[in-house]
Amino acid sequence: MTQKTFLKNIFRPRTVVGLHVTTERLALVKIVNTLKGPEVVETRSRGLDQERDVSEQLKALFDAPRLKYDMLVSSIPSPLGSFRRIPVPFQKSRKLERIIRYQLEPYIPSPIDGILVDYFPGGSDGNAVVMGLEKKILSDHLKSLKNAGLEPDLVVLDEAAIFSLYTAGSLDRRKGEDSTAIVHFGEDFLGMQIVSGDEVRFVRILSDSENSISAIDESLKIYELQEKAVPRNLFLVGNSPDVDAFRKEMQNSSTGMEVNVWDPWKHLRIRVEDFSRSDAEYLVVPLGAALIPSIDFRPFNFRKDEFSIESVMEMKRKMVSVIVLLFLLGGAVTFHLYQKEHLQGKRYQEVKRQVRNVFLSTFPDTVRLVKGQELAQMRQKMAEERSRLAWTNDFRRKDTVLAVLKVLTEKMGPIPDLYLEDFAFEGKEVTVEGETASFETVEKLKKAFQTSSMFTSVKLAGAKKTREKKRVRFQMKLMLK
């Protein structure tokens, strides 16, 4: 165990309960985070009586016997939310957190003010899979739990819980390998997500009323068109009446992938004496929800924008802990700063001496050096020399934009029914956007650009068919040498 993993295990909540509430069932999983990792210590599952109040049944589930925990994570069925794969201009999570809400707005039919937004890890390819949930749905969910005396710390969608189960180490997710598809059998729906390394590249929610095999095949073709890659494996997990028959039928379909039934329980330490495998399929989502605080990524939470006032005693307890930690931290920082200031003083004197020697060796005709201003004098001398030699830059200038436009025109000319809508040139990246009649034409254009020696790579950033004109809008990214 590394030092980083050891510290993370210390500061994670000790006991976490994952709760899943659907229209037909209530299920929960309690885990304990130890220094060796999470351990399952209790599971509860029961059918939901439609004639009784949901809050009363929730209260009974937690009171038989009374369940104690440090953190509660609740999951809402995925069909109640929405998933979109959208382009994002930033890859750093701190910047992405600020802009993702407004980036999603053009892709949803309702006003963004009524939507809560969260997102999966990703963005290295310039795209992110974003989750949206109406505020009213969250409000109704919290109200039902509050009537049962429950206050969840985190609220997520089912597919986020499945992803946390994946990242907890139950599946092979070594970086650099091909992507993996996960099909989750939910209540009256199928959730499909494709993960590559530690990033979610694709999520789609399918109705179980349609042909599931055809819907999954169609989703894989959409992913292949976007990424130019096919998942290596396909795993089936969740509540399915005959998962083995489904696996065989899926294996014989046109996917050509290895299809397996995923049993996440065999990779976890289970300390439940009466644990029943018959209920395990109903506990997959609450298990993933309980593992969310244990994953190495930013935790999912649709309540992150809320501010809840804690009890006075809880606030006092935390304040005392914070004051003690700040006192210890202050002492350590003071000693560190004193030592650092002493070392920096010595380095500063040495650097001043070196600057003076370099100055005199570079400009030996300097008559007078002003003490303490050696660096400023050197910069002034260098600026004078650059100004004197500025005329040499004219020999290095080239008409790069015109050269790129010439190559683009030559490659696009032979292709019929092609309309260039936008062209952007920034640094070494060239962005081309336009419309054409079919996806085949887009592929021809990509191959034409790849034959040019001017570009090191040509990537299809997006291609989709418009409803009004029945034409294909595309966007390509070209990198100059």
Residue 464 belongs to domain with CATH number? 3.30.1360.100
Q: Are residues 432 and 454 in the same domain?
A: yes
Q: Which residues contact 86 (CB under 8 A, 6 or more apart)?
A: 103, 104, 107, 127, 128, 130
Residue 295's pLDDT band, with cuts at 50, 70 and 90, is confident
Q: What would the mean pLDDT of 293-312 be, rounded to a whole number? A: 70
Q: Are residues 470 and 441 in the same domain?
A: yes
Is the pLDDT at 403 greater than 90? The verdict is no
Q: Which domain holds residue 466?
A: 400-480
What is the number of domains present in the chain? Answer: 2
The whole-number pLDDT of residue 197 equals: 80
Q: Are residues 357 and 385 in the same domain?
A: yes
The answer to whether 242 and 265 have CB atoms below 8 angstroms apart is: no
Q: Are residues 386 and 422 in the same domain?
A: no
Q: Are residues 380 and 421 in the same domain?
A: no
Domain boundary among 394, 421, 442: 394
Residue 395's pLDDT band, with cuts at 50, 70 and 90, is very low
Residue 472 lies in a domain: yes
Residue 439 lies in a domain: yes
For 382, the token pair is: 């260098």
Work out the mean pLDDT of the chain and round it to a whole number.
83
Q: Are residues 356 and 415 in the same domain?
A: no
The answer to whether 285 and 158 have CB atoms below 8 angstroms apart is: yes
Q: Which residues contact 478 (CB under 8 A, 6 or more apart)?
A: 429, 430, 431, 432, 449, 455, 457, 458, 459
Residue 44 lies in a domain: no
What proportion of the chain, given as a percentage, has pLDDT over 90? Answer: 25
Residue 4 lies in a domain: no
Residue 308's pLDDT band, with cuts at 50, 70 and 90, is very low
For 69-126, the pLDDT digits (tens) are: 999 999 999 999 999 998 887 766 677 777 888 888 888 888 888 899 999 887 777 8
Measured distance CA(23)–CA(25) in Å, rounded: 6
Is the pLDDT at 313 greater than 70? The verdict is no
For 178, the token pair is: 């091909």
Q: What would the mean pLDDT of 460-475 be, rounded to a whole number? A: 86
The whole-number pLDDT of residue 158 equals: 94
Q: Are residues 382 and 412 in the same domain?
A: no
Q: Which residues contact 363 (CB under 8 A, 6 or more apart)?
A: 378, 381
Global pTM exceeds 0.85: no
3-state SS, residue 471:
coil
> Can you say whether the dihedral through the CA atoms of 252, 253, 254, 257 is positive or negative?
negative
Q: Are residues 384 and 412 in the same domain?
A: no
> Can you say whether the dihedral through the CA atoms of 167, 169, 174, 179 is positive or negative?
negative
The whole-number pLDDT of residue 379 equals: 82
Q: Are residues 387 and 425 in the same domain?
A: no
Is the pLDDT at 303 greater than 80? The verdict is yes
Is the pLDDT at 314 greater than 70? The verdict is no
The whole-number pLDDT of residue 397 equals: 44
Q: Are residues 420 and 458 in the same domain?
A: yes
Measured distance CA(166)–CA(100) in Å, rounded: 24
The answer to whether 355 and 374 have CB atoms below 8 angstroms apart is: yes
Residue 384 lies in a domain: yes
Q: Are residues 409 and 471 in the same domain?
A: yes
Is the pLDDT at 2 greater than 60? The verdict is no
Domain boundary among 378, 394, 410: 394
Residue 404 lies in a domain: yes
The whole-number pLDDT of residue 10 equals: 58
Residue 75 lies in a domain: no
Q: Are residues 444 and 476 in the same domain?
A: yes
The answer to whether 282 and 25 have CB atoms below 8 angstroms apart is: yes
The answer to whether 33 and 10 have CB atoms below 8 angstroms apart is: no
Tokens 């008559």 locate to 367
The whole-number pLDDT of residue 390 equals: 56
What proportion of the chain, given as a percentage, has pLDDT over 70? Answer: 88
For 420-437, the pLDDT digits (tens) are: 888 888 878 899 999 998
Residue 295 lies in a domain: no
Domain boundary among 341, 366, 394: 394
Write out 294-343 in H/E/C secondary structure.
HCCCCCCCCCCCCCCCCCHHHHHHHHHHHHHHHHHHHHHHHHHHHHHHHH
Q: Which residues contact 445 (CB under 8 A, 6 or more apart)?
A: 411, 412, 415, 418, 436, 474, 476
The CA-atom distances, in angstroms, between 189 and each of 22, 26, 211, 222, 478 are: 12, 17, 12, 19, 39
For 214-250, the pLDDT digits (tens) are: 888 888 889 888 888 888 889 998 887 788 888 888 8
